[in-house]
Structure 1
């Protein structure tokens, strides 16, 4: 369900406080009964981080709500959102993310990479406060997770890393050869792409 926004609410998002200010108002608009149920929203952003839409993906029970990747990203793709922020409430007021909260965030981060729509943050909110996955560093940790990365992507990533390591070793050997022949460090750095510091650390016997 598309959440109606005033022009004043279609702000440029600078930080998690900006998002919470709007989402708190949206939550408080709900009836007392619905405030005691978990909601899951997606906030779509333009490239300049201005809010494009806020969509209520699901309305669950007092301690659970579902967020299917297809539902989360279909509206974002239709509206051409470049980035999204996830948000859901905990009626209990306990803001600590559950393992389920972390798991769905992990999954949505990876789906976002595939469909080229970055997940910028995930806020857990109550009527009085909030927790930001980005601010606490949890989002960065989840971005390193490989749990939901397709096998072929992992294989390609490993191949790329192996190639980079091999190329770096080859570059270092070339730099060492230059150094053995008395080429100055600055020229070696310019020729190989290594930093001056890296070149200076190379130990070789000059001919």
Structure 2
């Protein structure tokens, strides 16, 4: 369900409090109908962080909300929002995220990577305050999580990383040999593709003609 927002409210969301000031008003309206239920909203942002839309994605129970990826990303994809912020309320007034909140966020981050929509933050709100996953450092931890990455993708990424390391080690050996031959550091970097700063730090014995 689309939430009506004024043109004045379509601001750049630079900090979590910018969005909370808007969502507190939305929550006040919603609580008149379903005061004891958790709501999950999807907030669409443009690339420059300007607010595009607010959509009520799901309506849950007293202590949980169902956040299926299809419901979360549907509007973002239709309206072309490259970034979204998840927002849900805790009727209990408790702001700390539950394990389920973290797992849902983790899963949606990974789905967002697949569909090309960045999950920028997740806010837990009450009428008086909020908790921002991004500002508390949780988003960084969850973005690095591999809990919801398929095994085949983990293997592919591991192989890719190994290839990078192998290529870097090979470049280093080439750079060492060129340095032994007395070539200029910039030429060594250009030929070997080994970073110039690292070339400068290589210590080798120069070959005598």
Equivalent residue number for residue 58 of structure 1: 58
Deviation at 1:68, TM superposition (A): 0.5
RMSD of aligned alpha carbons: 1.5
Partner of 1:186: 186
What is the CA–CA distance in structure 2 between the aligned matches of 1:77 and 1:41, rounded to whole Å?
15
Which residue matches 1:141?
141
1:36: which partner in 2?
36
For residues 8-33 of structure 1, the C-alpha deviation after alignment (integer angstroms, 9 at most, x for no partner) is 11222212111111111101123456
Deviation sequence 1:104-155 (CA, Å, 0-9, x none) = 0000000000000110000011111111111111001001111111223222
Provide TM-score, normalisation by structure 2.
0.93
- Separation (CA, whole Å) in 2 of partners of 1:120 and 1:69: 15
Q: How does 1:15-164 map to 2 (within 5 A)?
A: 15-32=15-32, 34-164=34-164
State TM-score, norm by structure 1. Answer: 0.94
Unaligned runs of 5+ in 1: none
The answer for the alignment partner of 2:203 in structure 1 is: 203
CA distance in 2, matches of 1:83, 1:30: 24
Give distance in 2, aligned partners of 1:161 and 1:200.
25
Summarize deviations over 1:27-85 as a string: whole Å, max 9, x none.
11234562332111000112222222111111222211111111101111111111111
Aligned residues: 207
Unaligned runs of 5+ in 2: none
